C-alpha cells in the first residue's frame, strides 16, 4: 500500500487519482512512522486550500507533518506588512508568499515609455521587498517567494518578448530582480521557480480560467500538484533532507552493452551512434551533479577489474576517480548499497540508486526502504529527465543549522519494517513469479543459441563457440543431449538465456557446453537446467554426467559451478577441472523457484503459424 502511494506521488503524476484518493493517501501516510512537525504559513494571492491539501501529502511522504496557516484570500500583503498579529502568533518556521502574475498591480501598457516601465518594475519589486523584509524582521522565519509565470495571452505577439513594455518582457526582468535579491539574502529568502514550472506543465495547462473566475484558483489541478511537488523539494532541501549520493549501475546504465560479455571495444558509448550518444549525455548529467557536490558511486554485478576497465573507454566522460565509492562484485546489490553508505559515513536515506534492470530496482526498494529508487525504465534517453524531475539533490544556499531548531529535524527513528520487505532472498525469488521454458534444441532457436554461444563469456564453462550450422547438425544427430532455457518473470521476458549441450559416450554424458546470460544470475536457473538435463539422461539410461571447466580471462565466476551443482571432482588443475555427477544413486530436483514448461506447452498453438526465424 505504501509503495503504491509513493508511486502515486512520483512523476509523472496521475492527477485525478491523487485528487480522488487524497484522503486515503493522507490516512496511510499519517499512520506510517513518525513525522517532524513544521509550521508553514501560506500567504496567498489566490485560494490556497487546494494547494495546502496536496502539499500536505507530499510533505507527509518526506516525513514532515505540516501545520498550516492560510491568509484570507488575496491578503498576502496585508498579512505580512500591515496586520500581522495573527501570523506572528502562529509562529511560522516557513512563510510561502504564494503569488502569481495575476497579483501584479503595475503591469506595463503598450506604448509606455521605457522609463515609465522601469518605474513600474521598481514599484512591483518594492511591494514584494517590503513583504519579505517585514517577515524577516518581525517573524524571523524562512521565506519562500514564488517568482512569476508568463502571461498566457500576449496581444503584442512575439513583440511582447522584445518591447520594453511587453508584459512578458516585464515578467522576465522582474524575475531577475527577485533572483538577484534572493542571492544576496540566501540565508532566509528562497525562490519557488514557478516560471520554470509553468513552462514544464505547459502554459495552456497551468491555469483553468473558469476556476479562477469561479473560485479564485490561480492554478489548474495539474499545476497545483506540480507546484506542491516543487515546494516539497525546496522544503526538503531547507530541512537538510536532500539526498547526497547518486549510485549507478554500469552495464546498460552508464554504457550500452555488458562489458564482461561484449568486451570494452564493443560497448555502445560515444557520439557516433544514437544510443552511444545518449549514454554520453547521461554521463554528462551525472558529472553536472558531481560538480555541484553530489557524490557518485558504482554498484554493479561485475568483476571489479572488468568494471573498472569500462572507464578507460575513450568516450567515457566519467573516469574512475569521479567515484567516491565503487562496489563491483557478485553480491546482492542491496548489500553493496549498505557498504557504500557505510564507507561514505552516510545514511541510506542519502542514496539514490539508478539501474536499468527492473528486478534489481525491485529488490533494492523492497530491502532498503530508505534508498530512493527512481523507476528510470530502460530507455537511456529518459534517465536524466526522470532523475532530475524528482529533485533528489535540490540544494539551498543555507546551512540546515541556520533554520533547524535543535533536534527538530533529526532523522526519524527507524521505521517499522515494511510489509513489502522480503524476509529472505528465497522469498524475493518466489516473488518474481519466474517461469522457464526448457526443452531440447529446435530449429526456431538455433540462430539465437549460436549467437549466445558466441557472445557469452562469463557464465560459460568451456567457452566453446558454435555456428548455427554446427548446431543444426548436432540437433539432428543421435548421441547428443541438447537443452535451451528461456526465462521470464513478472517484470520481463529475458528470452533464451541458457544452453547446455552434452555428448553421450558409453552411458555417460560429457557436457560440451554450459552457459547462461549474466542477466539472470542468482535466479536459480542453473538448477532448473540441471534438473532438465538429468531428466533427459535418465530417459536415455545414462548413469553419470561429466562436466569440464576450462578457465579463461573472463569466466572466473563459474570456477566452482560444478562443485556447487553437487558434482564430485575427478581432476583439477589451475587451467581446468573435470567433475562427475553420479546418477545411479538417484537424483532430487534442485529447482525451487521457477515454474517449468516445455516448448510444446508454450507454442503448440502458434508453432504452425510462425515462420522459422521469427523468434
Partner 1 sequence: MQQIILDKLQPIFREVFDTPNLEIERSSSADTVAGWDSYAHINLIMAIEREFNIRFGLGELDQLTNVGELVDLMESKLNRPR
Under the rule (CB under 8 A), what is the footprint of partner 1? 16, 19-20, 23, 47, 49-50, 210-211, 213-215, 217, 221
Place of cell 539526498: 243
Q: What minimum distance in Å lies between the beta carbon of 210 and partner 1?
A: 6
Nearer to partner 1, 22 or 39 (CB): 22
**Burial group, residue 265, by CB count within 10 angstroms (0-12, 13-18, 19+):** exposed
Contact 576, 549 (CB under 8 A): yes
- Residue 357's Cβ-side half-sphere holds a number of Cα atoms within 13 Å equal to 23
Q: What minimum distance in Å lies between the beta carbon of 19 and partner 1?
A: 7
Q: What minimum distance in Å lies between the beta carbon of 86 and partner 1?
A: 19
Of 404, 413, 414, 411, nearest in space to 38 by CA: 404
What is the rounded distance in angstroms from the CA atom of residue 482 to the CA atom of residue 503? 9
Question: Phi and psi dihedrals of 364, rounded to 5?
Answer: -65, -45
Q: What minimum distance in Å lies between the beta carbon of 5 and partner 1?
A: 16
Q: Which residues contact 463 (CB under 8 A, 6 or more apart)?
A: 457, 550, 552, 555
Nearer to partner 1, 223 or 363 (CB): 223
What is the rounded distance in angstroms from the CA atom of residue 404 to the CA atom of residue 406? 6
Contact 68, 40 (CB under 8 A): yes
Q: What minimum distance in Å lies between the beta carbon of 206 and partner 1?
A: 16
Supply 431's cell numbers.
Answer: 516473488
Nearer to partner 1, 17 or 183 (CB): 17
Q: How far is CA 435 from the centre of its chain?
A: 26
As a three-state string, the secondary structure of 349-389 is HHEEEECCCHHHHHHHHHHCCCCECCCCCCCHHHHHHHHHH
In terms of DSSP bridges, do strands 568-572 and 493-505 run parallel, antiparallel, or are they unpaired?
A: unpaired
Nearer to partner 1, 223 or 371 (CB): 223
Q: What minimum distance in Å lies between the beta carbon of 71 and partner 1?
A: 14
Nearer to partner 1, 217 or 366 (CB): 217
Nearer to partner 1, 221 or 256 (CB): 221
Nearer to partner 1, 14 or 37 (CB): 14
DSSP string, 520-533: GTTSSHHHHHHHHH
Nearer to partner 1, 53 or 447 (CB): 53
Supply 175's cell numbers.
Answer: 524575475
What is the rounded distance in angstroms from the CA atom of residue 99 to the CA atom of residue 525? 59
Contact 146, 97 (CB under 8 A): yes
Q: What minimum distance in Å lies between the beta carbon of 56 and partner 1?
A: 13
Supply 603's cell numbers.
Answer: 507454442
Contact 152, 207 (CB under 8 A): yes
Q: What minimum distance in Å lies between the beta carbon of 21 and partner 1?
A: 8
Nearer to partner 1, 221 or 310 (CB): 221
What is the rounded distance in angstroms from the CA atom of residue 459 to the CA atom of residue 555? 6
DSSP string, 101-148: GGG-S----TT--HHHHHHHHHHHHHHHHHHHHHIIIII--EEEEE--
- Element (DSSP H or E) covering residue 66: strand 64-70
Q: What minimum distance in Å lies between the beta carbon of 47 and partner 1?
A: 7
Q: What minimum distance in Å lies between the beta carbon of 40 and partner 1?
A: 17
Q: What minimum distance in Å lies between the beta carbon of 87 and partner 1?
A: 20
Supply 43's cell numbers.
Answer: 500567504
Q: What minimum distance in Å lies between the beta carbon of 153 and partner 1?
A: 18
Nearer to partner 1, 19 or 400 (CB): 19
Nearer to partner 1, 217 or 487 (CB): 217
Three-state secondary-structure class, residue 515: strand
Nearer to partner 1, 9 or 217 (CB): 217
Amino acid at each position: 500500500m505504501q509503495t503504491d502511494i509513493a508511486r502515486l506521488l512520483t512523476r509523472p503524476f496521475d492527477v485525478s487519482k491523487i485528487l480522488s484518493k487524497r484522503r486515503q493517501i493522507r490516512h496511510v501516510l499519517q499512520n506510517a512512522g513518525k513525522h517532524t512537525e513544521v509550521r508553514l504559513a501560506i500567504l496567498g494571492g489566490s485560494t490556497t486550500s487546494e494547494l495546502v491539501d496536496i502539499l500536505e501529502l507530499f510533505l507527509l511522504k518526506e516525513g514532515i507533518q505540516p501545520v498550516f496557516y492560510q491568509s484570507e484570500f488575496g491578503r498576502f500583503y496585508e498579512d505580512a506588512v500591515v496586520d500581522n498579529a495573527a501570523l506572528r502568533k502562529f509562529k511560522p518556521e516557513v512563510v510561502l508568499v504564494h503569488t502569481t502574475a495575476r497579483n501584479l498591480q503595475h503591469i506595463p501598457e503598450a506604448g509606455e515609455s521605457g522609463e515609465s516601465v522601469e518605474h513600474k518594475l521598481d514599484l512591483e519589486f518594492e511591494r514584494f521587498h517590503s513583504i519579505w523584509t517585514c517577515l524577516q524582521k518581525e517573524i524571523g522565519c524562512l521565506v519562500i517567494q514564488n517568482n512569476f509565470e508568463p502571461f498566457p495571452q500576449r496581444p503584442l505577439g512575439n513583440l511582447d518578448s522584445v518591447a520594453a513594455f511587453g508584459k512578458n518582457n516585464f515578467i522576465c526582468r522582474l524575475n531577475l530582480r527577485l533572483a538577484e535579491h534572493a542571492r544576496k539574502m540566501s540565508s532566509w529568502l528562497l525562490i519557488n521557480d514557478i516560471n520554470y514550472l509553468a513552462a514544464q506543465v505547459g502554459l495552456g495547462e497551468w491555469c483553468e480560467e473558469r476556476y479562477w473566475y469561479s473560485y479564485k484558483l490561480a492554478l489548474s489541478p495539474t499545476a497545483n500538484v506540480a507546484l506542491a511537488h516543487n515546494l516539497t523539494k525546496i522544503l526538503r532541501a531547507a530541512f537538510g533532507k536532500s539526498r547526497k549520493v547518486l549510485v549507478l549501475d554500469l552495464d546498460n546504465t552508464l554504457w550500452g552493452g555488458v562489458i564482461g560479455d561484449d568486451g570494452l571495444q564493443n560497448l555502445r558509448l560515444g557520439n557516433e551512434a544514437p544510443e552511444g550518444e545518449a549514454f554520453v549525455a547521461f554521463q554528462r548529467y551525472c558529472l553536472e551533479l558531481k560538480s555541484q557536490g553530489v557524490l557518485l558511486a558504482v554498484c554493479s554485478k561485475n568483476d571489479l577489474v572488468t568494471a573498472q576497465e569500462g572507464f578507460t573507454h575513450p568516450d567515457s566522460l566519467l573516469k574512475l576517480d569521479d567515484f567516491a565509492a565503487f562496489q563491483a562484485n557478485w553480491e546482492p546489490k542491496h548489500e553493496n548499497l549498505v557498504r557504500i553508505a557505510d564507507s561514505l559515513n552516510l545514511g541510506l536515506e542519502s542514496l539514490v540508486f539508478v539501474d536499468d534492470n527492473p528486478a534489481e530496482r525491485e529488490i533494492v526498494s523492497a530491502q532498503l526502504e530508505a534508498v530512493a529508487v527512481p523507476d528510470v525504465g530502460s530507455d537511456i534517453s529518459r534517465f536524466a529527465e526522470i532523475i532530475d524531475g524528482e529533485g533528489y539533490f535540490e540544494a539551498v544556499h543555507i546551512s540546515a543549522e541556520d533554520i533547524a531548531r535543535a533536534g527538530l529535524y533529526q532523522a526519524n527513528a527507524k521505521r517499522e519494517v515494511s510489509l513489502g520487505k522480503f524476509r529472505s532472498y528465497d522469498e524475493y525469488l518466489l516473488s518474481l513469479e519466474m517461469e522457464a521454458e526448457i526443452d531440447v534444441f529446435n530449429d526456431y532457436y538455433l540462430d539465437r543459441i549460436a549467437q549466445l554461444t558466441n557472445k557469452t563469456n562469463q557464465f560459460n564453462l568451456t567457452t566453446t563457440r558454435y555456428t548455427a550450422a554446427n548446431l543444426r547438425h548436432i540437433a539432428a544427430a543421435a548421441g547428443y543431449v541438447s537443452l535451451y532455457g528461456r526465462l521470464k518473470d513478472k517484470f520481463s521476458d529475458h528470452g533464451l538465456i541458457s544452453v547446455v549441450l552434452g555428448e553421450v559416450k558409453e552411458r555417460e554424458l560429457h557436457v560440451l557446453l554450459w552457459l547462461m546470460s549474466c542477466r539472470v544470475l542468482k535466479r536459480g536457473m542453473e538448477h532448473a537446467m540441471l534438473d532438465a538435463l538429468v531428466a533427459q539422461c535418465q530417459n536415455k539410461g545414462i548413469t553419470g554426467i561429466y562436466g569440464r571447466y576450462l578457465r579463461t580471462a573472463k569466466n572466473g565466476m563459474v570456477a566452482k559451478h560444478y562443485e556447487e551443482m553437487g558434482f564430485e571432482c575427478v581432476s583439477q588443475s589451475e587451467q581446468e577441472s573435470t567433475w562427475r555427477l553420479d546418477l545411479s544413486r538417484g537424483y532430487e530436483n534442485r529447482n525451487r523457484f521457477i515454474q517449468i514448461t516445455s516448448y510444446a506447452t508454450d507454442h503448440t498453438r502458434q508453432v504452425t503459424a510462425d515462420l522459422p526465424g521469427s523468434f
